[in-house]
Amino acid sequence: MHYAGCVKTLHSALLKGLQVGDTPWFSIELDDPVHGRITRLGRFGGEPHHRGVVVGDSGEWPVETPGAGWIFAERYEGGAPLGGYADATIVLRHGDGDAWVEGEASSRNTAALEALLSHARDSAAEVLDGRPGVLEEGQPAAPPRDGDEAHAGLAVQWRHDDASYLERVGACVAAVREDGGVRCLTNMATVTAPAPFDPASVYTALARSSGAPRAAIIVEGDVALVSASPETFIACRAGIAETEPMKGTRPRGATPEADEALREELRSSEKERQENLAVTERVVAELETVCVSGSVHVPRPCVVKSYGQVHQLVSEVRGHLRERATLGEVLDAMSPAASMTGVPKETAVRHLAELEDGPRGLYSGCYGWVSVSGADAQVATAIRCAELRGSTALVGAGGGLTAASRPDEELAEVKLKARAVLKALGAGYPRVL
């Protein structure tokens, strides 16, 4: 049995089981220091008090309770988060397709999850008959076609049409010529359907096409976040904080030769490099406010990482968190992500609020997991995502603007970033003019 097919089929069966009933539920993909790449799935059993968890080096970490922790999603503008406490989770290991239940010994949830896992294994076994898995992470998806129409019954309305968005690009470029900074201008598509969207189906379609390292679905009542983010906002392991500001994008090529050419074009672009380094400088300064003095550094600046739909330019930043620092303090120091605002951040946030004519919501906020002990926290930037509200879906996309930006290229980048999410919703691709 091919393990990739096993993981995807078992995950799909588990999602179908979780969405039965009214209890809020989740699935989140993580890099676990013990198990490698895993997905945690389960139901919420308490409030989202993740911000009070100590993630800074306390000298001696308390005994970990496997499977117990907080799963959350925070909006760009702040406000009440989605999510809550999970006292038990199903762990699905990507390396070999193995799955088991972890949780507190007294958890009422554990037995229910074990029964769900047993049923899902039986269902997956009926489907899997040795077929190979689908698209692997880091391999290009089939190139999309411009101008595909929305499926029957769906409507897509952009907050700013092409002409209006290009005007706003021009305003940003003029502003950064004055202050020498970066602006991350965004647009928002509202997709409406005749019936409520099925979060699990949208998530499965998005994860299949994007192959992103930070995928999640968090469902609470009639609101859901579905994301396949490639960007780590903050990861804390035993007191060490890591973040990966991401600025600079190219599409995947239709052939290996074209793909490599686009990758090299991104790697060698001075415009993209300057944009990334400007944001990285701000991220370093923010991380220094919650880290031991002198410990924050950039071990790998401006490296290209490849995902199912795009190549991205990423810088890796690392620091040693100060003793007793909480996750809330770390999030406050770094939110909203500089990669989603630009720099100077305070000026950029004010300017973008004037230009964007509406809230971003969950898009360009963050989501993640923190264990009970605080020894492991994994938080992603909420991009390549949809905020589902019944029969309405909100899809945000944007790009960093510098003095060297070309408006037509920036418009094409926004549509490229929105494509995978719109396709997962069944809404077709936006036309690139």
Cα 341 from Cα 322, distance rounded (Å): 26
pLDDT band at 70 (very low <50, low <70, confident <90, very high): very high
State how far Cα 362 lies from the chain centre: 11
* DSSP bridge partners of 89: 102
| pTM for the structure as a whole | 0.89
Topology of domain 1-134+157-433 in CATH is: Anthranilate synthase (3.60.120)
How far is Cα 223 from Cα 24, in angstroms, rounded to an integer?
10
Break the chain down into helix, strand, coil percent, rounded to 5. 35, 30, 35
Contact partners, residue 228, CB within 8 Å, separation at least 6: 206, 207, 209, 210, 211, 212, 214, 215, 384, 385, 420, 421
Mean pLDDT of 140-163: 66
Task: Read off the pLDDT band of 430 (50, 70, 90).
Answer: low
Task: Residue 325: count other Cβ atoms within 10 Å of its Cβ.
Answer: 23
User: pLDDT above 90 covers what percent of the chain?
Assistant: 70
Strand, helix or coil for residue 327: helix
Lowest mean pLDDT among 121-130, 291-300, 348-357: 121-130
Strands 342-343 and 366-371: unpaired
Residue 269 clears pLDDT 90, i.e. is over it: yes
Distance CA(296)–CA(314), nearest Å, equals: 17
- Asked if 28 and 368 touch (Cβ cutoff 8 Å), the reply is yes
- Cβ–Cβ under 8 Å, residues 103 and 83: no
Question: For 57, how many CA atoms within 13 A lie in the half-sphere containing its CB?
Answer: 12
Reading the block at residue 48, the tokens are 């989202």
